[in-house]
Structure 1
């Protein structure tokens, strides 16, 4: 039986973790750097968000403060745009850019953007897959019977749902940043040089989602390498 806790394929998990750490460090460094640049408009993240939402004809989304650093998110369930300590009342180009990005998600929701709807619908499936994948695979290894390979394949399929969710997330995040840049320019919230800085912040943030997707794919590859050929070895 393959050694579950450590084996040569574990290097794939290590690579994925390193990729995610690098992406996380980069977004924090980039955000901190451009947090030092005050926007010429003097608008806070919350004020910029209000202007963008109203310019897009959206009046039923509530902009509110949420504690934490870079914990910003849009909640389509209750239509709240939640801005963190480092964004809500800050006037930097980084803060305004992040707030605009979350507005991008609100605009996606209001316009019925298909990838966002698909991602939202896929959340419970992805959570279900993440929660049960490893227990099902391990059960398949333990019972060592004719049905073991079927359980292992089911576990791999369940984990694939979580990977698919990561992939679905990518176009949603990139499109939200695109919408943010358009709105910041059209509403005159940021100037050309400020938009250049903001793009760097949003690009760094987007790369964290790319890193998460890459890590998930590497984890799936590890699972397939560990257990996919079990029927041939038994």
Structure 2
């Protein structure tokens, strides 16, 4: 039953993280920073101060759709983050710029994750079918192959953790060093970024639980617990 316990913990973390992200972002979106800089301005400043003049800061529709696109080297901010001078906005903007800085420095975990993407785009879709066919046909070779491919998905989730934690750490350090937030405002930055990081932890734990579940069948222990 270890896989079930881990899966339940992961689901619980994911649900709690989603609640925390929405509540934290909502709360700190209503509190402006003393600097009065918007998320887009902070992002542009961070990039320029690190020589990333060619990395654009673009506005995208939606809420919490912010991301860094490594394929075209662009920081994309949702409209609430792009236009607002709130603590939540500058936190998210700085975090996404943290990924751009990782890309510039060839941060190991980020590079490894990027290299995994083309392979996972194929294997992540094949793995569930192999597992299903293996279970139905009782073909352990198919189950084994499915487990191996799914293990790659779990590895991707695990590698994502240091990438996200490092980007948040960079964001907090830069915001304080540049004086764009005060020590008092740092509490809000911590709340917003820590809540977002928890979503990745939850996803990783859920994926690990699934892998253990599939592996239990492969080892012939699916019904022992």
- Same fold? TM cut 0.5: yes
Tell which structure's C-alpha radius of gyration is larger: 1
User: Is 1:69 aligned to 2:59, yes or no?
Assistant: no
Aligned counterpart in structure 1 of residue 16 of structure 2, from 19, 22, 47: 22
Per the alignment, residue 57 of structure 1 pairs with 51
Runs of 4 or more above 4 Å deviation: 9-15
Q: Contact 2:7–2:208 (CA<8 Å) still a contact in 1?
A: no
Aligned length: 223
Q: How does 1:97-116 map to 2 (within 5 A)?
A: 97-116=91-110
Per the alignment, residue 152 of structure 2 pairs with 161
Classify 1:69/1:224 alpha carbon distance in 2 versus 1 (closer, same or farther; 3 Å): same
Moved more, 118-127 or 98-107: 118-127
Give unpaired runs (5+ residues) of structure 2.
none
Q: Contact 1:12–1:222 (CA<8 Å) still a contact in 2?
A: no
> Aligned partners of 2:191, 2:106: CA distance in 1, in Å?
27
Secondary structure in 1 matching 2:205: helix
Per the alignment, residue 6 of structure 1 pairs with none
Per the alignment, residue 178 of structure 2 pairs with 187
User: Is 1:222 aligned to 2:216, yes or no?
Assistant: no
User: Is 1:46 aligned to 2:40, yes or no?
Assistant: yes
Normalising by structure 2, report the TM-score.
0.92
**Which structure carries more relative contact order (alpha carbon 8 Å, separation 6+)?**
2
Alignment root-mean-square deviation, CA: 2.1
Q: Contact 1:153–1:228 (CA<8 Å) still a contact in 2?
A: no
Normalising by structure 1, report the TM-score.
0.89
Classify 1:196/1:14 alpha carbon distance in 2 versus 1 (closer, same or farther; 3 Å): closer
User: Is 1:204 aligned to 2:195, yes or no?
Assistant: yes
Q: Contact 1:97–1:180 (CA<8 Å) still a contact in 2?
A: yes
Deviations 1:85-144 (A, max 9, x none): 221101101110000000000001111111111011111223323211121122223334
> Aligned partners of 1:122, 1:220: CA distance in 2, in Å?
18
